[in-house]
Amino acid sequence: MDELLPYRHKSGIGEKLNLTKFPNDVSWNGSIIYLDRDGVINKGSENYINSRDEFVLLPDVAKSLARLRKSGFRTCLVTNQSPINRGYWSHKTLEEIHEKMIEELSNLNVNAVIDLILYSPYSPEENSISRKPGTGMLRAGNIILNSSELGINLPSNFDSLDEALLFEEGSMSAMVGDRYVDYQAGKSHGVRTFMVNPNSGLSEVINRILDKNDKGDVLH
């Protein structure tokens, strides 16, 4: 499987990330919630979300993100976006879609913040570790968020997603998705994994995520 690093919203993958402070002087609890996008944050489509106009948030997702933030979780969006390398549309189109997502979440709840947005533009034929079920986006999220929290520079060899670069995951870290590839990515990365109905999304499992005794779903 090829490295082919993930891309980052409006930033180079190795650029410094300025994290937004938690509300009410909350401190980071050490855990990251990795979020698929379509079917978790917004309504998905079999024909992809192709423009800002097609992007529609799922119910209570802003409230759920705010609850994560108030509980000290960092959040990382990890979304497969193969239409880019399939030639359907550009990185700029995806940037516009994600800008709408950020704006709408903020308008609904000032604490509905996604700390890091990563995406994989690769088609299945490119066999990239950054395309789920590969763990590349989760590994990159782990490295970027932990380095940023600790106030240290990203590793100079961050052209690799080698496991040796990873920080230990917090005990309540989790992956949330609606497809089996999300489940595979979360399990391979070693975090709790929660599957949702794509018509409900994040709000369906928010109470479970916040329950330290909930070990996530087990699929066969």
State the Cα angle at 31 between 98 and 40, rounded to 5°.
35
Please tell me the predicted confidence (pLDDT) of residue 1. 53
Q: Which residues contact 189 (CB under 8 A, 6 or more apart)?
A: 34, 135, 138, 139, 142, 169, 175
Neighbours of 219 (CB within 10 A): 10
Predicted local confidence at residue 164, as pLDDT: 87
Confidence of residue 2 (pLDDT cuts 50, 70, 90): low
Mean pLDDT, all residues of the chain: 95
Give the per-residue SS3 of 157-174.
CCCCCCHHHCCCCCCCCE
Given the residues 2, 25, 38, 115, the one annotated as active site? 38
Domain boundaries, the chain: 7-209
Higher confidence at residue 7 or residue 156?
7
Whether the Cβ atoms of residue 24 and residue 70 lie closer than 8 Å to each other: yes
Domain 7-209's class? alpha beta
36 as an active site residue: the answer is yes
Question: Which stretch of 11-15, 83-87, 204-208 has the lowest confidence by average pLDDT?
Answer: 11-15
Residues 38 and 51: their CA atoms lie apart, in Å, by 13
Asked if residues 74 and 30 have their Cβ atoms less than 8 Å apart, the reply is no
Q: Please give the pLDDT value at position 151.
A: 93
pLDDT above 70 coverage of the chain, percent: 98
Answering whether pTM is above 0.85, one says: yes
Q: Dump pLDDT digits (tens) for 116-152.
A: 999 999 999 999 999 999 999 999 999 999 999 999 9
What per-residue string of b and e applies to 102-123 under the rule 16 or more CB within 10 Å gives b?
Answer: eebbeebbebbbbbbbbbbbbb
- Determine which of 3-12, 52-61, 165-174 has the lowest per-residue pLDDT on average: 3-12
Distance CA 217, CA 205 (A): 11
Q: Determine which helix (DSSP H) or strand (DSSP E) holds 51, and give its type and residue range.
A: none
Distance of CA 48 to the CA centre of its chain: 18
The band of 158, judged by pLDDT with boundaries at 50, 70 and 90, is confident
Alpha helices in the chain (DSSP H): 61-70, 91-108, 136-150, 180-189, 206-209
Active-site residue among 2, 25, 36, 115? 36
The reply to whether 217 belongs to the active site is no
21 pLDDT exceeds 60? yes
